[in-house]
Structure 1
């Protein structure tokens, strides 16, 4: 089993503040993202990932986000097996100290 690449919340925050264009997908449930998401992240619930593979760019590395890093880790393992370039945000939104925006 290939190890999944990780990124810390602090590393991600630095990249975003530096203006890097990153693919971010938040896999939490609707009521969780209602409390705030990282700006520009897409929201695809973990259970909806298999039906939304076409929404995930296979050419780019995609960073997955959840509350603590567990669910997003599972999503990363699933997608990595299918040839996607993935990275898991460890610590999840519990450790995120950067900006958030309410999900519309």
Structure 2
């Protein structure tokens, strides 16, 4: 289980507040917990990745797709759970997402 200040996410694919309330199921492909509310999930089948906002339940496609050989990059937030930036390369340019700016 990985916890932020107010939220926890478990390897058994659930999310809940630290006090145990508001538990919800997560997709099995959910990874990381960053800025106390965001995770990434793999879009099935092999369609890339999305950023999931645990607070609102909304998600956004990160634009990552496997190449012709089925290989691609994967963004895994949460290496530093207090980091507010996610950055990755996409089609020769860098995408930077400032999680603190998402309301």
**Higher helix share goes to which structure?**
1
Instruction: Flag whether TM exceeds 0.5 (same fold).
Output: no
Q: TM-score, normalized by length of structure 1?
A: 0.24
- Higher RCO (CA 8 Å, separation ≥ 6 residues): 1
**Higher strand share goes to which structure?**
2
Structure with bigger gyration radius: 2
Q: TM-score, normalized by length of structure 2?
A: 0.24
